[in-house]
Amino acid sequence: MSESKAMILGVSGLVLTGEERAFLAHERPWGFILFARNIAEPNQIRELVAALRDAVGRPGAPVFIDQEGGRVQRLRPPLAQNYPPAAELGALYARDREAGLRAAWLMSRLHAFDLAALGFTADCMPVLDVPVEGAHDVIGSRAYAKNADVVTALGRAAAEGLLSGGVLPVVKHMPGHGRAFSDSHMALPVVDASLAELRAHDFPPFAALAGMPMAMTAHVVYTAIDPDAPATTSRKVISQIVRGEIGFDGLLMSDDVSMKALSGDFGQRTAAIFAAGCDVVLHCNGVMDEMTAVAARTPELAGDALERANAALALLSPGAVEDEQATRREFAALMEGRTAAA
């Protein structure tokens, strides 16, 4: 029997229920993800994180969170400052390239300060999607820019800032959510761009950061590649584009299996995700009936997927020593357009 199943799960509230503890002990998810409903104050977060790891008997079980800045930020004051959205970093980059790159690194380093202190392993960022005019605002200001080169540069700086602070990045949403004209939380976006357009505009940031340890798929149909299935459940997109053309060989997790973009019941969705070639399924909302159905169709984490998971966790380190308050002052100064005080 392998150590865990190939899934990342959420839970319902601020503490584990007895039912959740028993379920997690039996089903052994590889990792966990927390949301605002799971977050109150620092000791509660640390205790919940410890309880999750204890339930599966693995002190190193990874715990994820979405902490981008802007509207996607699960830790809010006083747990963490309100950080700007990626688009503000892009605007700074447009005015001053070096200042923009430094600010992107610093903001991620600050995320790492906030997250590592609470026991988190990984942050589901940077967003490498490159929006087009008129696309749905589900990405919007979460994107650094509408230019692939700018997204690549700032995304790399952001990922490196997390890694420097001992937190793993998860690039998303591979191979690109920027053209979606609907919100995949609510409906299935269909992108009709040609393969040439996708290669020129959407894929480059993901290809440039293909060496990152983890990535999340897009619940988006690309008709030029596979007219029938979104990337998350498309063997063609994952094998030919994500693993092939983009060259990503890290741990590939699905976006949330409970999003309305996917069809079928939870067992069918889960089976389709693994059949397509994803390494790990992500289920976020903590609803027990759904998690039970997902777990029933989730395989043991083994083979290439297990190697990728272990390779990602092997990158974890205590983080480079940085002066947190000096880092905060420098970041604030850059965002305010002035030189930091010595």
Could you give all domains of the chain from N- to C-terminal order, each with its CATH number? Answer: 5-335 (3.20.20.300)
Using left for φ > 0, alpha for ψ between -120 and 50, and beta otherwise, residue 254 falls in beta
How far apart CA 107 and CA 161 sit, in angstroms, is: 7
Check pLDDT > 50 for residue 241.
yes
Q: Tokens for 118? A: 């609470």
Check pLDDT > 60 for residue 339.
no
Nearest to 66 by CA among 103, 28, 101, 39: 39
Q: What is the mean pLDDT of the chain?
A: 94
What was the pLDDT predicted at 260? 80
Residue with the bigger pLDDT between 44 and 140: it is 44
How far apart CA 222 and CA 178 sit, in angstroms, is: 12
Check pLDDT > 70 for residue 244.
yes
Check pLDDT > 80 for residue 261.
no
What is the β-pairing status of strands 63-65 and 221-222? unpaired
Contact partners, residue 272, CB within 8 Å, separation at least 6: 229, 233, 262, 264
How far apart CA 9 and CA 291 sit, in angstroms, is: 8
72 close to 96: Cβ distance less than 8 angstroms: no
In sequence order, what are the beta bridge partners of 215?
171, 252
DSSP 305: H
What was the pLDDT predicted at 1? 41
How far apart CA 305 and CA 63 sit, in angstroms, is: 18
Check pLDDT > 60 for residue 342.
no
pLDDT > 90 in the chain, percent = 88
Nearest to 334 by CA among 151, 144, 97, 92: 92
Q: What is the pLDDT of residues 117-135, one digit of tens each?
A: 999 999 999 999 999 887 7
What was the pLDDT predicted at 299? 98
Helix axes 18-27, 42-56, angle to 10 degrees: 40
How far apart CA 94 and CA 104 sit, in angstroms, is: 13
pLDDT band of 93, cuts 50, 70, 90? very high
Nearest to 208 by CA among 144, 253, 256, 164: 144
307 close to 279: Cβ distance less than 8 angstroms: no
What was the pLDDT predicted at 76? 96
Which residues are part of the catalytic machinery?
185, 255
Annotate 212-258 with DSSP letters as a single string.
Answer: SSEEEE---EETTTBSSS-GGG-HHIIIIIIIIIS---SEEEEEETT
Residue type, 69: G
Q: Tokens for 217? A: 């798929």
Question: What is the pTM (predicted TM-score) of this model?
Answer: 0.95
Q: What is the mean pLDDT of residues 96-106?
A: 98
72 close to 36: Cβ distance less than 8 angstroms: no
Q: What is the pLDDT of residues 151-209, one digit of tens each?
A: 999 999 999 999 999 999 999 999 999 997 776 677 788 999 999 999 999 999 999 99
Alpha helices in 117-169 (DSSP H): 148-164
What was the pLDDT predicted at 2? 55
| 3-class secondary structure, 177 | coil
Check pLDDT > 50 for residue 340.
no
Q: What is the mean pLDDT of residues 280-286?
A: 97
In sequence order, what are the beta bridge partners of 279?
none
Q: Tokens for 251? A: 């741990």
Q: What is the pLDDT of residues 306-328, one digit of tens each?
A: 999 999 999 998 767 789 999 99
Check pLDDT > 80 for residue 258.
yes
What was the pLDDT predicted at 48? 98
213 close to 256: Cβ distance less than 8 angstroms: no
Q: What is the mean pLDDT of residues 242-250?
A: 98
Annotate 157-171 with DSSP letters as a single string.
Answer: HHHHHHHHTT-EE-E
Q: What is the four-CA torsion angle of 155, 160, 165, 167, rounded to 10 degrees?
A: 70
